[in-house]
Structure 1
Amino acid sequence: MIFLRRAAVVVIALLLLVSGIILFLGRTSPLDTHFTIEVVPIIIPNDAVAVERGRYLANGVAVCVVCHGGDFGGREMVDHPIYGFIHTPNLTTGVGGVGRYYSDEDWVRAIRHGVNPQGRGIAFMPTDHYWHLSDADLGAIIAYLKQLPPFDNDKAGTRLNIFTRALINSGAKGNLVRASFIPHQGPRPATSNNQAAYLLQIGGCDFCHGADLRGGQGPEPGAPPAPSLANDGPLADWVVEDFVRVMRTGQTPDGRVIVPAYMPWVGYMHMSDADLVLIWDYLRQLPPTS
């Protein structure tokens, strides 16, 4: 009798689990949401100064290079039996590259809105940070991407396993289709007059360190808590040289090396000394944690 009761409990629990998974998978997934975007055209320059500005932003601040590779030809981000397979798109005009067919409107839609030409949200694209790019800086990035040397790589694709799709649908790891957070047809956000605040915003520092930069948790499986960047947190005893060294090499004053998969210093290392000092001075002025 006891065995039958226990068996019944196990069966009911399994049914509830399966039902829950079906419900999560049956919901309108953020991965399947269709976005209708009226793209506001911007000027795409072609002068050397603008292209250099785009190179600097794409490599050192917006760190597109971290996900799309040093040649921007796309790279494998995940290949895991539980999570699935993610290979970022090739951004060049080479074989398999979106640069072969993207119009200026497509580039704006993808970067500013996080939506592909078919109207689907681009998973894992930090577009809620790029939403704050000024028209001039967005145009410069697009100008840079359009003149990249062609690189052949047609492996781009995303195949998420049932476990990952259930997590995304449930919101357990947050909505990884960042286009869902943007008021696409609303007014453009005002560009900050503070250059350091602007760089922190488009650099996506708040994604892990929290909206107030006082600590948070990155979405990657196994990611350690991101520390507070305020001057009363773990960085309290740092000096500007320590900060610049961390951003250049990933090595902290106490000898630890930050894992670039969790903190992409391999991209931020390309920032200029002047901008890193600006950011450091801004962080020193943050109000202490209450």
Structure 2
Amino acid sequence: MNKLMKIVGGSLAVLAVGVGVTAGAAMVLSERKMNRVLDVQVAPADFASLDANMQRGEYLFLTRGCSECHGAGGEGRLMIEDPASGFYVYTPNITRGGGGAAAMYTDTDWVALLRHGLKPARTPVFIMPSEDYAQMADDDVASLVAYIRSLPAAPERKAEIRIPLMVKALYAFDVSTDAAEKIDHTKAAPVRVPEDSHSQGAYVAKTCTGCHGEGLAGGKIPGSPPTWPAAANLTSAADGAMNRYASVEQFREMMRTGKRADGTPIAVMPFESLRLMSDAELDALFGFLKTLQPKASGSR
């Protein structure tokens, strides 16, 4: 019995050491990955040459998730607090007050952030879904940034991100990725917002890719808290979520109430933003999603 106990004890000790080494490696490798400098060609930007529209900029700020993540005034807010996993995110102040993260951003810095998922030093952002904005038209980028710069300066409250070890490990070993890894940095963004309904729907749907995947087939959201459900499949697959909505009126109702056609609530979706979208954009989005060919759920 003593010999057996020694063997078991030794095995547990070896296991503990292995877990400790793996945890240590995950910490080091994830920090190294988060602080890597990417050699990405960011085109110099001059928003003064574009037709910035403050009303359009405010609309984009409210409907594309900016206010939901950073607060109605861009002051930063508590976005994730998941005691079960230890995941905690208090987002940055993006006004020009208090030395906020974006207080001194140049036009080119904003392009690097929105289109490439990169900070001014060309290191990647981790939480922000820049892949949603990578194909935002030039005039929309200029309008959005002009509106953000017009926000009253808010006192700085330091951004804070605490990421669970398991999420760091998945990131360190490339199971989950940051926005800069998902974006095609060579793909040119449109100059203007498309005018025809189908193209507008495809344009709006780009905002859904951070959660639902590039192919909009859903699946576990990379880097999200473990308690979050998988994103729904938006294609015409047999188990796709869009099958619940036979009419654009039902779809609009869901986007504005956060409830499915049967009245059950939908978790995680950014309905604070989505409910403010115009009928025209919701109609175009509905029409586009209804044209998507079926893809396996979870294949993103």
Normalized against structure 2, the TM-score is what?
Answer: 0.83
Provide the C-alpha distance between the structure 1 equivalents of 2:36 and 2:75, rounded to a whole number of angstroms: 27
Q: What is the CA deviation profile of residues 142-184 of structure 1, one whole-angstrom value per residue up to 9, with x for unaligned ones?
A: 1111111222232223344555433431334x11x21233344
Asked if the contact 1:83–1:163 (Cα under 8 Å) also holds between the matched residues in 2, the reply is no
Q: 2:234 aligns with which of 196, 220, 229?
A: 229
Change (3 A) 1:234 1:134: closer
Change (3 A) 1:104 1:47: closer
* Equivalent residues in 2 for 1:124-273, closer than 5 Å: 124-160=127-163, 162-172=165-175, 174-175=176-177, 177-184=178-185, 186-189=186-189, 194-201=199-206, 203=207, 205-219=208-222, 220=224, 221-231=226-236, 232=238, 233-238=240-245, 239-259=247-267, 262-273=268-279
Letter in 2 for 1:240: V
Structure 2 stretches lacking a partner, 5+ long: none
Provide the C-alpha distance between the structure 2 equivalents of 1:83 and 1:255, rounded to a whole number of angstroms: 31
Aligned identity (percent) is 29
Provide the C-alpha distance between the structure 2 equivalents of 1:234 and 1:111, rounded to a whole number of angstroms: 28
Report the Cα offset of residue 207 of structure 1. Answer: 3.1
Change (3 A) 1:78 1:131: same
Structure 1 stretches lacking a partner, 5+ long: none
Provide the C-alpha distance between the structure 1 equivalents of 2:211 and 2:106, rounded to a whole number of angstroms: 32
Provide the C-alpha distance between the structure 2 equivalents of 1:271 and 1:116, rounded to a whole number of angstroms: 28
Report the Cα offset of residue 99 of structure 1. Answer: 4.6
Letter in 1 for 2:262: D
Change (3 A) 1:11 1:119: same
Report the Cα offset of residue 76 of structure 1. Answer: 1.8
In the other structure, the counterpart of 1:280 is 286
Provide the C-alpha distance between the structure 2 equivalents of 1:187 and 1:254, rounded to a whole number of angstroms: 40
Provide the C-alpha distance between the structure 2 equivalents of 1:171 and 1:55, rounded to a whole number of angstroms: 36
Q: Which deviates the most, 131-140 or 39-48?
A: 39-48
Q: Give the match's secondary structure for 2:214.
A: coil
- How many residues are treated as equivalent by the alignment? 282
Asked if the contact 1:58–1:65 (Cα under 8 Å) also holds between the matched residues in 2, the reply is yes
Provide the C-alpha distance between the structure 2 equivalents of 1:283 and 1:187, rounded to a whole number of angstroms: 22
Report the Cα offset of residue 10 of structure 1. Answer: 1.0
Provide the C-alpha distance between the structure 2 equivalents of 1:159 and 1:234, rounded to a whole number of angstroms: 32
Letter in 1 for 2:188: R
Report the Cα offset of residue 247 of structure 1. Answer: 0.8
Normalized against structure 1, the TM-score is what?
Answer: 0.85
